[in-house]
């Protein structure tokens, strides 16, 4: 069942007061309550309660009543939390996965490779991305299409996890690929996987949160940027991502639930990047967008 976050947006000070009211209401029970900063400049915070979808109506009413005296007009917003148990997900079903011309398989399935497959060997491990998740498979499918249809002379895989998408690009085209991840373990795993897939040069791996590294300036701007993260960080990143994209360059975004896609499309439109196509896999969407 889906996890839901109900939240109220407020200034830091007000969010603190709301947090106290919510703690009074839910303190004895097993709900996670939190405040998070969303925009430092505008002093915007969110005070949230996390719950399961089937309790939503009851909890919404309880939040409204807890806030009714002090903040009667605060709208209560909601967000469906995607399943972010990446590693557990990546261990699901270890059968080979086909997407576009790619076959992603574990070392125990080398005999499943057919003559025309572009095979990528990834064993389930400490980083996300064995190809089994709908978002990874969706990205592979779109990567295959984009590399066939458009001139791409370099690429960035942001949030590389196991390195699977960066490896997929490099297997089809001998172009420089930058692969980054916020998690140093993922970067280590991606490096090992690249080597295991016979990639000895042309792929640079860096640990970096978002676009915070000199590597982006040194390697960019990019003809192709792939980011399979989550809707929210992707929306936040839109202007910076646009900055590192060549005119006419392609963007492949995933980690987006179907219901979130319009918001993401709008955020990118605002950054001058227009939506071309969307594919669906298991409730997740992967989108292809283009600069200009
Ligand atoms: N590209 C792989 C892995 C996707 S999982 C695939 O498609 O299968 C998402 C990855 O993004 C995780 O490895 C996570 O550590 C990384 N990540 C999340 N937020 C990030 C950020 N702000 N900057 C860079 N990497 C991030």
Residue 76 has a pLDDT of 95
225 C-alpha to ligand 1 centroid (Å): 13
The residue ranges of every structural domain in the chain are: 3-81, 127-291
- Tens-binned pLDDT, residue by residue, of the chain (292 aa): 678 889 999 998 898 899 889 988 987 776 777 777 778 788 888 888 888 889 999 999 999 999 999 999 899 999 887 665 544 444 444 678 888 899 999 888 899 999 999 999 998 776 777 776 788 999 999 999 999 999 999 999 999 999 999 999 999 999 999 999 999 999 999 999 999 999 999 999 999 999 999 999 999 999 999 999 989 899 999 999 999 999 999 999 999 988 888 899 999 999 999 999 888 887 788 999 999 8
Query: Of all protein residues, whose CA lies closest to atom 14 belonging to ligand 1?
Result: 159
Residue 83 has a pLDDT of 61
Q: What are phi and psi of 223, to 5 degrees?
A: -80, -20
pTM of the model: 0.72
287: three-class secondary structure by DSSP: strand
Indicate if ligand 1 lies below 6 Å from the C-beta of 193.
no
40 C-alpha to ligand 1 centroid (Å): 24
Indicate if ligand 1 lies below 6 Å from the C-beta of 211.
no
What gap in Å lies between CA 7 and CA 136, rounded to an integer?
Answer: 30
Architecture of domain 3-81: 2-Layer Sandwich (3.30)
Q: Count Cβ neighbours within 10 Å for each residue of 235-266 and write b for 16 or more, e otherwise.
A: bebbeebbebbbeebbbbbbbbbeebbeebbe
Q: Where are the alpha helices (DSSP H) in 206-249?
A: 214-219, 231-243
Q: Do domains 3-81 and 127-291 have the same CATH topology?
A: no
Indicate if ligand 1 lies below 6 Å from the C-beta of 159.
yes
Architecture of domain 127-291: 3-Layer(aba) Sandwich (3.40)
Atom of ligand 1 nearest to the CA of 233: 22
Residue 38 has a pLDDT of 78
Q: Count Cβ neighbours within 10 Å for each residue of 164-199 and write b for 16 or more, e otherwise.
A: bbbbbbbbbbebbbbbbbebeebbbbbbebbeebeb
Residue 84 has a pLDDT of 52
Q: Which of 102, 104, 76, 92 is nearest to 9 (CA)?
A: 76
């Amino acid at each position: 069942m889906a996890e839901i976050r109900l939240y109220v947006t407020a200034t830091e000070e007000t969010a603190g007061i709301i947090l106290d009211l919510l703690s009074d209401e839910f303190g004895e029970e097993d709900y996670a309550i939190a405040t998070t900063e969303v925009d430092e400049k505008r002093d915007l915070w969110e005070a949230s309660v996390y719950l399961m979808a089937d309790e939503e109506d009851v909890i919404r009413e309880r939040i409204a009543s807890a806030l009714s005296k002090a903040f009667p007009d605060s709208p209560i917003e909601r967000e469906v939390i995607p399943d972010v148990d990446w590693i557990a997900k990546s261990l699901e079903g270890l059968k080979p996965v086909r997407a576009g011309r790619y076959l992603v398989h574990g070392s125990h399935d080398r005999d499943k490779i057919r003559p025309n497959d572009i095979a990528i060997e990834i064993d389930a491990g400490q980083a996300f991305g064995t190809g089994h998740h709908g978002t990874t498979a969706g990205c592979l499918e779109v990567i295959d299409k984009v590399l066939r249809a458009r001139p791409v002379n370099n690429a960035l895989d942001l949030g590389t996890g196991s390195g699977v998408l960066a490896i997929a690009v490099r297997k089809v085209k001998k172009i420089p690929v930058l692969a980054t991840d916020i998690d140093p373990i993922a970067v280590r795993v991606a490096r090992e996987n690249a080597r295991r897939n016979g990639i000895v040069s042309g792929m640079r791996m860096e640990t970096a949160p978002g676009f915070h590294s000199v590597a982006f300036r040194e390697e960019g701007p990019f003809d192709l940027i792939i980011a399979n993260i989550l809707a929210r960080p992707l929306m936040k990143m839109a202007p910076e991502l646009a900055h590192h994209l060549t005119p006419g360059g392609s963007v492949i975004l995933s980690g987006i639930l179907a219901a979130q896609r319009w918001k993401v499309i709008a955020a990118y439109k605002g950054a001058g990047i227009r939506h071309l196509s969307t594919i669906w896999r298991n409730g997740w969407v992967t989108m292809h967008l283009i600069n200009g």
